[in-house]
Structure 1
């Protein structure tokens, strides 16, 4: 049979099959089904018998509780079926859109500083509170996360546990890529003494991080509570930096903190012997450590938008996207119109070519209170002191700070002069040097989800 006829027949078969298929909105893959709703309703009718989780004191030396929490969830990577891939595609878009929205607010609050934010970590933090939210708070958080508003019954509500499991699958895709990427997440829940949490809520949080810590802290003495939390936090994270907390409100009964450490190595890169100039603005420069790499990269120099874009692989699929203004353009101008859609346009018309790239080594951290960002975008009550978190605890929950701390490192591979890789092909490499403020994004290559987003104004400073 002629190949053209075969194609026509195949197209007809696909069209018929598609017409016979009932469209299911991706949201319903994350929503409660009828059986889950019946189970939830049964639990609501027996709240007096619900199991509670009693946090141990932050001063306790007992570690068995931590081991029990870790053992309740298996973090093994599983292959994704068609439905699982559909869920990841849908969730990735929501994570990226919300990440860009809150990143824009955060950088607006720190216009002259290096800003770093993890969209996946931030999204997971908000889902943590959704798991404990009820009534108006739940109804407000669901559309804020990007999911359709809840309907009249349970099957229109988001199942936060499924969202966490999908986020964990994304993390597993990133962390299974080899020696050039290392990342970890921790979550901390601090509650006032006497506040008992729902056991199911605590266990539903387990996929949110590699380690979950739940401790009781007396917020009534803010100075002591701040010192205890900072000490507990620093004893467990991999890199010590600025304190996660400066102060707490004595009226707080619950505080949440998370930590994400991301370390990436640029393949085939080697360190430069001397520090190089980095121009913070046209009149100010600092000396920073730099690295250099030669190879074939996807690249473009857009003379219309006046930006230079380069895609740098970190592993088999995962990559950096670097965007630097050119021809008199500035990072401030780019950021003034930056959105998920505008950033996605940077991927257009990239072409492979030989490049000799010189860029800063990075070791930056950012600590931000999500409450501050929500207040900046005129949503101070979304997770305020009057939030309904009755699925989290029967106690009167007064939310304090909701802190995300992100530590980001970007290094060379430690190659010496004898190991330096020359670009393949015979074309002369284009010289590209990132020596003035630029945008940086880390993408998980399989899902295209944003793991980290940064506005690098000064490689030696961050907030």
Structure 2
């Protein structure tokens, strides 16, 4: 009988309120250079490890988004594709044969163009860059294995998860479910700065391992909104339904692009540091049209087409969340073997057959005047088995829109979401 592996992914994002920074004139702000997510420096070279996995991570992000959107109906969407990718890439260190191949394919890594080791080297480099303490944004990502003290893991697997994913192996007593659960929940709460409390509500009695990935992000807008300009306004969920929101407003210079072909506005709002948020506003009734062509090439084209210009920007404050059964979504994306009795995770342990029993991801984001705070956790439970002359355009995010938080240092999407109803209560 196989042990089960429980993969739980947790994501949190929070914008922090604040006042505009003093000492910045409109002229200074308008002269400030704003870099787009598409400006990948050629000087860096395409052979850096984290750049090799960037295309696969981006493609996976949009594949997963589309699978969520296909089932989500009119619900808000928010998740961390990087947290999910890192967790399953780390898991693949212990996978063999078809199970390993299927995981790599599901994560959209082209293994005909790179070696398996390059995937893990890429994540190692990515983690080093994300966790650089000298960056202007507060950003951290990490992993941990909570292992039953009766389970003997292979030394190579332990060495690999430490070397590539900087993961610590924490001996845990899964015979005492409450004790094990508390240890894991305390770790998650600490690493996400208190954003996730008592994340694990229960554990299967035959759980022998929990794999956790977390990501936490806290950034401040390069040009904060003034709370004095935030007013009550209508947000139109559809043609027949609207809700009241707190609408932020700013008339300043941003990088923007009007995609006439896809009928949407794209606005980049940069954070201090090397992270930006892309807000995508489809024309009324055009959301599906935009979602259907949401690919890394589409976003790259938007990024390259962004031009600095003054706009009248209106965007709501919002707090949304989402909870996803990643196991169910992955199976629909063709990743099935790791969840079944045919799973080959023999690279983890010699004497115990393992499989993934659950994979969950939870995310939340709160957008306010001054910045963004976001976090994600992945937990795996294992049981045996240029400026125009015309007047500035008015871009009003008063209908469903998308949000992409992009880290330019690692060329990776940290968070991806869709706001259908900014006033909806959290899941």
Q: TM-score range by the shorter chain?
A: 0.7 to 0.9
Residues 382-430 of structure 1: per-residue CA shift (max 9 Å, x gap): 444542222222242232323444443443239xxxxxxxxx9997543
CA contact (8 A) 1:164 1:207 kept: no
**How far has the Cα of 1:129 moved from its partner?**
0.7
**How far has the Cα of 1:97 moved from its partner?**
0.8
Give the 3 Å change call, closer, same or farther, for CA 324–118 of structure 1 in structure 2. Answer: same
**Structure number with higher helix proportion:** 1
Paired residue for 1:399, among 356, 375, 395?
Answer: 356
1:342 is matched with: 298
Name the CA distance, whole Å, in 1 between partners of 2:328 and 2:419.
Answer: 21
Give the 3 Å change call, closer, same or farther, for CA 282–206 of structure 1 in structure 2. Answer: farther
CA contact (8 A) 2:130 2:141 kept: no
1:412 is matched with: 369
1:387 is matched with: 343
Give the 3 Å change call, closer, same or farther, for CA 311–148 of structure 1 in structure 2. Answer: closer
More moved, 107-116 vs 211-220: 211-220
CA contact (8 A) 1:186 1:212 kept: no
Name the CA distance, whole Å, in 1 between partners of 2:231 and 2:164.
Answer: 41
1:372-383 map, 5 Å: 372-383=328-339
Name the CA distance, whole Å, in 2 between partners of 1:258 and 1:185.
Answer: 7
1:424-443 map, 5 Å: 428-443=391-406
**Structure number with higher strand proportion:** 2
Count of matched residue pairs: 367
> Is 1:448 the counterpart of 2:407 in the alignment?
no
1:314-329 map, 5 Å: 314-326=271-283, 328-329=284-285
1:19 is matched with: none
CA contact (8 A) 1:357 1:431 kept: yes
Give the 3 Å change call, closer, same or farther, for CA 393–160 of structure 1 in structure 2. Answer: farther
CA contact (8 A) 1:321 1:440 kept: yes
With normalisation by structure 2, the TM-score equals 0.73
1:261 is matched with: 216
CA RMSD, Structure 1 to Structure 2 (Å): 3.6
| More RCO (CA 8 Å, sep 6+) | 2
**How far has the Cα of 1:456 moved from its partner?**
1.4
**How far has the Cα of 1:263 moved from its partner?**
2.6
CA contact (8 A) 1:177 1:315 kept: no
1:4-403 map, 5 Å: 85-149=47-111, 157-159=116-118, 161-172=120-131, 176-178=134-136, 181-206=137-162, 212=168, 214-218=170-174, 229-230=184-185, 233-234=188-189, 236-241=191-196, 244-269=199-224, 270-271=226-227, 272-326=229-283, 328-347=284-303, 349-396=305-352, 397-403=354-360
Q: Which runs of 5+ in 2 are unaligned?
A: 1-41, 372-386
Whichever of the two has the greater Rg, that structure is: 1
